Structure 1
């Protein structure tokens, strides 16, 4: 088990009607004027925005609003948000939505607190420990951005080519996360399934490690994955199941706050690769991850077949072949594929609806490595450009 530090300062306010507490919480954390930031008609049409506005007004919190967030949030909109905040004297950013709205809000908060070009932050040319105050109201169980230190943005301000890049720092953890499972009842099936897979992937990216003696972290991760495995299908079958929605919402938050990775080094090669797929083809993040994971798994399984066997047995209930760990592990990968198909998610690039050329595959492989700032992506197995090209070709 490696040394680690673990601090999650985000205050989780969980349960029914908790969105009405936004004004109280902003006031508690010293905010005076907020930017309410979201994307899509849902926030307004369901009355959620009105309830939030009423809560802010009741506490004397002034606010301005900005719609327009799209999946794979854009830096161009972020810059508009920064200018609006400066013009209006905003000192608190309130995100309403899933990972896209929260990440867009985090990026605005970085821009408000610093005077560098945001492109430089996400391209790794500058760093910062400063960010404006931010809180989140989650309307989707998936990305975990409401408790994570990560911010992922599509850079669309540098010409025709889109770059999807992240910046990670502890300062980006929201001060509070309001989580009302009822706000997720009306999600379309795809917006339940794909983010559900993202919860799994945030956990799996930490779970697949070569670090030894991480038994407690394994138990936490396996329990979380079994929970998601059970409740994504339940939420799809019964969209207004409060237990299913509540468990998924909490799992999303805990999957990406670092808890399941304590004492080990995460891999995150699949995230690096999917960011390139998402930037090039603008696909949903969770679906992009499921389209490549089994190809990654089969490519790296020989590094530690016993780890894959443990995953197969403890998460998917596969019968353990004690004489052949790899065979057990491969059946676990098959079980993952079956689960993805059962919730209508792809397990190949073809099923994802894309057919990249060899040239595009090379570009994505190179981008995945470049984004990590070295000569490889991943930690479970170091994947160089040629490795990523091979597994993307296998994922076709």
Structure 2
């Protein structure tokens, strides 16, 4: 078991009508708010009007139009500029994980005198950040309970996972009702995203029985409740459990004491969505079973056997190789069964930039130190198998 130093300073306010606590929450931080949101879905479901009414008397500056795979330019730069121009006290991020990820970069950039990209690219370390409160409307990324975010810079095809302890949200308000209107496509992508967060921590060299149990339970919960959400988008209990699954998925609690895995599927997918701007969860679903098949060996087979037996209920009396193959097949078939496109060509990616992406991942993501080290050729083979 590995040493660790763990902190979760975020307050979670979870459940139906939890938004009523918003005024008392925001009163802790000041009167000048940057309200960050995406393409307008919060207006369609009435959440925008509710927020504005609850925050009557506050000085609110709006940053709208934050995209999935949030962009450094314009969203982060615009947000930093607005914070500095209006002397913002606190950021209120309302929407999905992309809105919150972008808000985290803004929060750090607002307290930094140089180019905010210095912070995102780790050339400089944040010394402070604005406090962040969030209201989450999409169960997927888990950004509401961690200190990281992912930011894309289009002109350089970079998509960087930026983490800093200053970036934990101060308060996250989670009402499963606000996920009822999420489309089937985005619900499925959220399931895949959270499942992969869990798998990235499960497939590691040094793990504990406790963490394995957490991860296996999470995966079963996501599959069972995810299907229920797709079948009945207004199933409150299913939406609630899926939302909590996603919240736990990415803040490290599933892997305390484990050795690091390198998060190889995320590293590869970041190139896909940086180059082609595809839906992150769909890219992960496409890559994951191909990565699994690529790394299956005598060294890793016991991990796949445990995964197959405890997650999918595969007969433990079968030969190890058969259990492992069935586990990988079951992973693929689950994603396929929730109507995720399972080939890169299905999401508009052909073989024209495979070599370029493989090189980009190999140079920038450090997968030579992953659970199973991956060379540029390994990455290329996984991408080709995913076509």
Aligned residue number for residue 382 of structure 2: 391
Aligned residue number for residue 90 of structure 2: 92
SS in 1 for 2:329: helix
Q: 1:348 aligns with which of 335, 343, 348?
A: 343
Aligned residue number for residue 228 of structure 2: 234
How many angstroms does 1:371 deviate by?
Answer: 2.6
TM-score where L is the length of structure 2: 0.96
How many angstroms does 1:123 deviate by?
Answer: 2.5
SS in 2 for 1:178: strand
SS in 1 for 2:81: helix
How many angstroms does 1:134 deviate by?
Answer: 0.7
Counting only pairs closer than 5 Å after superposition, residues 73-222 of structure 1 correspond to structure 2 as 73-76=70-73, 77-156=75-154, 159=155, 161-212=156-207, 214-222=208-216
Q: 2:356 aligns with which of 363, 375, 381?
A: 363
CA distance in 1: counterparts of 2:223 and 2:336, whole angstroms? 12
Counting only pairs closer than 5 Å after superposition, residues 203-352 of structure 1 correspond to structure 2 as 203-212=198-207, 214-264=208-258, 265-302=260-297, 303-322=299-318, 324-352=319-347
Return 5+ residue gaps in structure 2 as ranges: none
CA distance in 2: counterparts of 1:216 and 1:192, whole angstroms? 28
Q: Is the 8 A contact 2:40 2:65 kept in 1?
A: no
CA distance in 2: counterparts of 1:377 and 1:241, whole angstroms? 43
CA distance in 1: counterparts of 2:326 and 2:43, whole angstroms? 45
SS in 1 for 2:222: helix
Q: Is the 8 A contact 2:36 2:94 kept in 1?
A: yes
How many angstroms does 1:129 deviate by?
Answer: 4.1
CA distance in 2: counterparts of 1:253 and 1:296, whole angstroms? 25
Q: Is the 8 A contact 2:109 2:119 kept in 1?
A: no
Aligned residue number for residue 62 of structure 1: 59
How many angstroms does 1:155 deviate by?
Answer: 1.0
CA distance in 2: counterparts of 1:118 and 1:362, whole angstroms? 30
Higher deviation after alignment, 340-349 or 99-108:
340-349
Matched pairs, number: 384
SS in 2 for 1:266: coil
How many angstroms does 1:24 deviate by?
Answer: 1.4
CA distance in 2: counterparts of 1:328 and 1:32, whole angstroms? 58
CA distance in 2: counterparts of 1:277 and 1:175, whole angstroms? 32
CA distance in 2: counterparts of 1:82 and 1:267, whole angstroms? 30
TM-score where L is the length of structure 1: 0.94
CA distance in 2: counterparts of 1:331 and 1:93, whole angstroms? 46
SS in 2 for 1:116: coil
Is 1:23 aligned to 2:23, yes or no? yes
CA distance in 2: counterparts of 1:123 and 1:362, whole angstroms? 23
Deviations 1:190-213 (A, max 9, x none): 11000111010000000001114x
Distance 1:219 1:66, change over 3 A: same
Deviations 1:351-390 (A, max 9, x none): 3332132xx2222122223333x4x355211112111111
Q: Is the 8 A contact 1:269 1:377 kept in 2?
A: no
SS in 2 for 1:164: strand
Deviations 1:141-172 (A, max 9, x none): 0000111121110113xx4x431112112221
How many angstroms does 1:326 deviate by?
Answer: 2.5
How many angstroms does 1:267 deviate by?
Answer: 3.0
SS in 2 for 1:34: strand
Return 5+ residue gaps in structure 1 as ranges: none
Root mean square deviation of aligned Cα: 1.4
Deviations 1:302-357 (A, max 9, x none): 131010111111111111245x3232111011111111011111333233332132
